[in-house]
């Protein structure tokens, strides 16, 4: 369990760095909200900040409940204690990485690791503009 606490400490340190960076740039982020084209970006940054702030209580709750659950296993399940701690450590690491890096980046990394060549990109528009469909999108008007 000491390894789990070490990993939690590292993840919380990264969390603190992100919070300090947000605090330092909060005035600039608020100013970017005044530009209509960047309002969606600023909203996504705010959502990311909220996820980062509430990540620590979620991870601590998961670690506490997992530890209590593992310690209260029946005596006939004692052979699964070490495997349960490893599973808890993996769960905490995955939760921390997903909260810090983001779900879409993690899913792309997993897709690449599993040998998948097709990656889903959530930033691609659903409908292409008519100029791209016609093949005249990048041509200059000479």
Q: What is the pTM of this model?
A: 0.64
- Determine how many CB atoms are found less than 10 A away from the CB of residue 59: 22
Percent of the residues in the chain that have a pLDDT greater than 90, as a whole number: 8
Which pLDDT does position 20 carry in this prediction? Answer: 92
* 109, pLDDT greater than 50: yes
**Strand boundaries in the chain, DSSP class E:** none
Give dist(CA 81, CA 70) in Å, integer. 6
Rg (CA), the chain: 22
Dump pLDDT digits (tens) for 8-56: 888 889 889 989 998 898 899 889 889 999 888 888 888 888 888 888 8
pLDDT value of position 116: 60
């Amino acid at each position: 369990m000491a390894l789990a606490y070490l990993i939690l400490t590292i993840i919380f340190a990264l969390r603190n760095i992100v919070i300090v960076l947000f605090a330092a740039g909060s005035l600039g982020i608020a100013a970017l909200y005044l530009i209509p084209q960047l309002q969606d970006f600023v909203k996504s940054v705010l959502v990311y900040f909220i996820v980062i702030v509430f990540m620590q209580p979620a991870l601590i709750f998961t670690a506490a409940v997992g530890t209590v659950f593992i310690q209260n296993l029946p005596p006939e399940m004692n052979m699964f204690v070490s495997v349960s701690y490893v599973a808890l450590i993996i769960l905490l690491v995955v939760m921390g990485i997903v909260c810090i890096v983001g779900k879409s980046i993690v899913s792309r990394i997993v897709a690449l690791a599993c040998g998948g060549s097709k990656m889903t990109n959530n930033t691609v528009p659903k409908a292409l503009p008519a100029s791209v469909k016609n093949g005249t999108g990048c041509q200059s008007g000479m």
